[in-house]
Structure 1
Amino acid sequence: MLKDIIKKIDSAIPSLFPVNPEKFNDPVAFQTEWKGVKVKSGGASTALVQMDENRLVYKPSIAGYVMGVIFIIAGIFISWLYFFMSGDKPWFLLLTGVIFALSGVFIFIQASTPIVFDKSTRMFYKGRKQPKIPDTTDSKHTVSFNDIHAIQLLTRLESSSSVDNSGNQSRRTRYYRVYEMNLVKHDGKRKYVNTFGKDDLARHDANIIADFIGVPVWDGIDG
């Protein structure tokens, strides 16, 4: 119930990066939302690799694993400082350590989860377990190629926070553009694939995947 209400409120808020669906000359584009599916990506770095003639896979890069480990170690170290400090202990220090450690675990898990486009089963899926047949019961992790209408690219904002070193214990938030790739189904519903820091890489990967599946790219990066 609450999730549906939040979704309706979000749908009513205009996008910061509006896209004109008319340019795609497809009625499904008008049914499709042009705001990001994700609010924030995990930050894990992945690379698109063609494993064989039947499989395109987003595999974790070394940077993804390293980032996760760095966050975990930083979180443990910050928490360790809190427990070994004498006198008044700033509670935000422990909170920062926990957030760093949990973020590292999340990044590491995300980095180790493959994202697969498989022609042999005609399935898109996330995870190490390959579906043997189109699995309509696991729509959260799988999409049949037959249900994919287009590849969507769009721009959205992400943010990162850091502690202000001026001594007032405030946090500074920095906003930056990222580029999101989604699969669009025939009914206009979407499935999130990946987030990119560079628009040229997003377009490069989208064209490879679109050719592999046999669908068009709806490039809404520039509106």
Structure 2
Amino acid sequence: MLNKIKHALKKLSSWKPSFDPSKFDDEMALKTEWEPLKRGGTNFQTHKLVEVNYMRIEFRSTMGAKLFSLIFFTIGVGMPIFFGREMLHEVADIYQSDFIFIILFGLIFATVGGWLFYSFSKPVIFDKTLGFYWKGWKKPKRYMAKMEEEISSRIGNIYALQIIPELVRSDNKSYVSYELNLVLRDGSRMNVVDHGSPVKIRDDAKKLAEFLDVPVWDASME
């Protein structure tokens, strides 16, 4: 009975478009997984494609993504200052449970905001000069270690781009987030970006596909 309940909940929480990968006329598309690679997402655009030069393209965080994360951080830092200033008039009040709660609440918001800002700001780079794709500020080494293989790949190993929509449900609303993935020559996938603007992600995918000279497999058009 418990397994049936879990299965029902999983079925309700998952969503994917009904489509046939054979329409791409490529055997690799049939071997590739079409479930979302990265669960979750946002309902707004978090990244934009920037053409640095003819040999390098990057995904960078949008101003909206930075402001979104800074709101969390500002609330986390500002709440203890705003609500706790009256309590700080007396030393004994510092140890009151209400003040401790405000500090902990603010710390949680500040931590979330800082983590979001760090995650959004992490660059996503495609560099033909080096011949690599990677996420982060550190360039991959010529002979990649196991850890580097999880966040980087040789550009020549990229077979196609994949766009997959995912219905993200919360307590009181739901929205669709779109993830852009790399499909590698062994059929494995790597997530590039994941946000809520289908127009922008398709436009960026088209530019990136032209840069890499690979096809775009778009499962969001069904």
Match in the other structure for 1:75:
76
Mark the CA change 1:93 to 1:159 in structure 2 (over 3 Å): closer, same or farther. Answer: farther
Distance 1:149 1:92 in 2: 51
Mark the CA change 1:204 to 1:144 in structure 2 (over 3 Å): closer, same or farther. Answer: same
Matches for 1:193-204 after TM superposition, within 5 Å: 193-204=192-203
Q: Which 4+ runs in 1 deviate beyond 6 A?
A: 84-88, 90-95
Q: Write the deviation string for residues 147-204 of structure 1: whole angstroms up to 9, x where unpaired.
A: 11110001002345xxxxxxxxxxx432101111000112221100001322111110
Mark the CA change 1:174 to 1:89 in structure 2 (over 3 Å): closer, same or farther. Answer: farther
- Residue type matched to 2:49 in 1? L
Q: Write the deviation string for residues 70-120 of structure 1: whole angstroms up to 9, x where unpaired.
A: 111112334556767799849987765444222211111013211101111
Mark the CA change 1:135 to 1:158 in structure 2 (over 3 Å): closer, same or farther. Answer: same
Distance 2:27 2:193 in 1: 25
Answer yes or no: is 1:63 the counterpart of 2:33.
Answer: no
**Contact 2:16/2:167, CA 8 A, preserved across alignment:** no
- Residue type matched to 2:174 in 1? Y
Distance 1:79 1:174 in 2: 30
**Contact 1:44/1:110, CA 8 A, preserved across alignment:** no
- Residue type matched to 1:128 in 2? W
Q: Which protein has the larger Cα radius of gyration, Structure 1 or Structure 2?
A: 2
Q: TM-score, normalised by structure 1?
A: 0.77
Backbone CA RMSD of aligned residues? 3.0
**Contact 2:159/2:184, CA 8 A, preserved across alignment:** yes
Residue identity over aligned pairs, in percent, reads 31
Match in the other structure for 2:129:
120
**Contact 1:82/1:89, CA 8 A, preserved across alignment:** no
Distance 2:185 2:151 in 1: 17
Match in the other structure for 1:5:
none
Answer yes or no: is 1:32 the counterpart of 2:32.
Answer: yes
- Residue type matched to 2:158 in 1? I
SS class of match (1:125): strand
Which structure 1 residue ranges, 5 or more long, are not aligned?
Answer: 1-8, 161-171
Q: TM-score, normalised by structure 2?
A: 0.77
- Residue type matched to 2:37 in 1? V
| Match for residue 100 of structure 1 among 109, 116, 134 | 109
Distance 1:147 1:158 in 2: 31
Which structure 2 residue ranges, 5 or more long, are not aligned?
Answer: 1-6, 88-92
SS class of match (1:173): coil
Match in the other structure for 1:166:
none
- Residue type matched to 2:30 in 1? F
**Contact 2:48/2:204, CA 8 A, preserved across alignment:** no
Match in the other structure for 1:219:
218
SS class of match (2:183): strand
Mark the CA change 1:25 to 1:79 in structure 2 (over 3 Å): closer, same or farther. Answer: farther
Match in the other structure for 1:164:
none
More moved, 49-58 vs 121-130: 121-130
Q: Which has the higher contact order (CA 8 A, sep 6+)?
A: 2
Mark the CA change 1:25 to 1:70 in structure 2 (over 3 Å): closer, same or farther. Answer: same
